[in-house]
Chains A and B, each alone.
Chain A
Amino acid sequence: MDSNKAKIEVPVMADLFKQGKKPEYLFWVGSAGAFDDRYKQVTRAFIKILTYLKVDYAVLGTEESSSGDVVRRAGNEMLFQMQALMNIELMKGYEVKKILTCDPHAFNTFKNEYPALEGGFDVVHHTQFLQDQLDKGNLKLSKEHFKDKKLVYHDPCYLGRANGEFIAPRKVLDRMITNRVEMPRNKSFALCCGGGGGQMFKEAEKGDKEIFIERTEEALATGADIIATACPYCMVMLTDGIKYKDQGENVKNYDIAELVTLSLRL
Chain B
Amino acid sequence: MVSQIIFVLVLFGAGIIFYRKVSTITRNIKLGKDISIKDNRLLRWKRMLFIAIGQQKMLQRPVAALMHIFVYVGFILVNIEMLEILTDGIVGSHRKFSFIGWPYNYLISFFELVAFIVMAGCAVFLIRRNVIRVKRFWSKEMTLWPRSDANTILITELLLMSALFIMNATDSILQTRPDNHYVQVGSFMISGIIQPMFSGLSDGTLIFIERFCWWFHIVGVLAFLNYIPYSKHFHVFLAFPNVYYLKLRPKGEMQNMPSVTREVKLMLNENYSDQEDESEEMTFGANRVKCLTWKNLMDAYTCTECGRCTSSCPANITGKRLSPRKIMMDTRDRLEEIGRKLDKLPAGERVSYDDGKTLFDYISTEELWACTTCNACTQECPVNIDPLVIILEMRRYLVMEESKAPASLNSVFSNVENNGAPWQFSQEDRMLWAEELYYG
Contact = CB atoms under 8 A, between A and B. Distances in A.
A35 B419 CA distance: 12
B439 A51 contact: yes
Interface string A34-48: 110000100110011
B417 A70 contact: no
Contact of B440 (A40, A59, A66, A266): A266
A200 B423 CA distance: 11
Interface residues of A, number: 80
B408 A196 contact: no
Interface centre among B314, B374, B430, by most chain A C-beta atoms within 10 angstroms, is B374
Interface string B367-404: 00111111110011000000000001001111110000
B254 A211 contact: no
B345 interface: no
B82 to A, nearest CB: 39
Interface string A185-227: 0001101101111111111111111110011000000000000
Contacts of B431: 10, 12, 34, 59, 61-62
B118 interface: no
B438 A64 contact: no
Nearest to A185: B312
A151 B428 CA distance: 38
A29 interface: yes
A82 interface: yes
B352 interface: no
Interface string A246-258: 0000000000000
B268 interface: yes
Given A64-B430, A82-B264, A5 B439 contact: yes
Contact of A8 (B267, B319, B396, B439): B439
Contacts of B373: 73, 157, 196-197
Contact of B433 (A33, A157, A200, A202): A33
A204 B320 contact: yes
A47 B437 contact: yes
Contact of B434 (A10, A201, A214): A10
B440 A6 contact: yes
A16 B91 CA distance: 87
Interface centre among A10, A197, A211, by most chain B C-beta atoms within 10 angstroms, is A197
A2 B439 CA distance: 10
A158 B264 CA distance: 26
B90 to A, nearest CB: 50
A201 B408 contact: yes
A62 B406 CA distance: 29
Contacts of A86: 268
A75 B320 contact: no
A75 to B, nearest CB: 3
Interface in A63-79: 64-66, 68, 70-79
A28 B421 CA distance: 13
A75 B437 contact: no
A202 B369 contact: yes
Interface stretch (A92-100, A126-134, A141-149, A161-169): A161-169
A35 B265 CA distance: 30
Nearest to B367: A205
Contact of B408 (A79, A189, A202): A202
Contacts of B101: none
A189 B377 CA distance: 10
B437 A10 contact: yes
B372 A195 contact: yes
B143 interface: no
A112 to B, nearest CB: 4
B263 interface: yes
A205 B369 contact: yes
A66 B414 CA distance: 12
Interface stretch (B11-19, B162-170, B245-253): B245-253
Nearest to A104: B252
8 contacts: A59-B431, A70-B416, A71-B413, A81-B264, A201-B411, A209-B318, A211-B314, A214-B314
Interface of B: 60, 249-254, 256-257, 260-261, 263-265, 267-268, 284-285, 312, 314-315, 317-322, 366, 369-376, 379-380, 392, 395-400, 405-406, 408-409, 411-413, 416-417, 420-423, 425, 427-434, 436-440
Given A78-B264, A113-B254, A117-B261, 18 more contacts: A31-B421, A35-B429, A47-B437, A59-B434, A62-B430, A66-B420, A73-B373, A77-B284, A85-B268, A112-B253, A161-B374, A189-B379, A192-B314, A197-B372, A201-B422, A205-B315, A209-B319, A211-B314
